[in-house]
Amino acid sequence: MSMSNIAVVTSITGSKDTLVHDQKKGKAQWIAFCDTPQVSKTWTVKPAFSKFKDNRINSRVPKILIHQFIKTKYSIWIDGNIALLKTPEELIEKYLKNHDIALFKHPKRDCLYDEAIRCATAKLDDPETIIEQVSGYEKEGFAKHKGLGECGCILRRHTEQVESFNNYWWSEYTRHSVRDQISFPYAVDKAGLRVNFIDFSWKLAPDNLSAIRGDFIRIVPHIILNPLVN
């Protein structure tokens, strides 16, 4: 039997989440990078990246540099608290189409500068680091309101151009803020990607604890709610 050309990938570090096993698997490969032992019939569990002292950065390595961890034509990154309600094949077919990458658009903002202000004000990362980052973007002439995505679920078509994007994003992420949504639009622009920012509505799931985004993901609460942990 041939291997699927889609990989679904997640990473859980610092005990922020436990693996969500109730997934619409389809024929995709399901790979989870975890820093604690996990048993799963859904996921192939592998050791998390562990060379950084910060758990957040360790979890972002397979997220951002996903091409270094898989060999498939397509990938779907999902945060550790997400369940897919449709198969990976359905999602790639519906949302990627002629795009290089697809993700939910941000529900409140469409601008990395506005996102930076929010993150700095809420002290989700060092404000000086954030200000230095976006000041550099502004000096380069990066325009406002060029789109902002929610980076918890990312569909990619693995091409050389997307690999360049991944590398741009990683470079910006490690140089600047750990809030990866800030650097995402800049890296997209550098690589010249065709991005599908997916519109969505949301509702509470029947358990009144998790949320349904669009028609294809369910988001469950984090075990650790502090956004600085991961």
Neighbours of 199 (CB within 10 A): 9
pTM value? 0.92
- What's the pLDDT at 4? 84
Return the residue matching tokens 């529900």. 107
Q: Which residues have a Cβ under 8 Å from the Cβ of 141 and sit 6 or more positions away?
A: none
Cβ atoms of 15 and 221 within 8 Å: the answer is no
What are 75's strand-pairing partners?
A: 7, 156
- How far lies 130's CA from each of 39, 169, 187, in Å? 38, 15, 16
Neighbours of 9 (CB within 10 A): 24
- pLDDT tens, N- to C-terminus, the chain (230 residues): 345 899 999 999 987 788 999 999 999 999 999 999 889 999 999 999 999 999 999 999 999 999 999 999 999 999 999 999 999 999 999 999 999 999 999 999 999 999 999 999 999 999 999 999 999 999 999 999 999 999 999 999 999 999 999 999 999 999 999 999 999 999 999 999 999 999 988 887 777 667 888 889 999 887 754 444 33
- What's the pLDDT at 208? 61
- What's the pLDDT at 222? 76
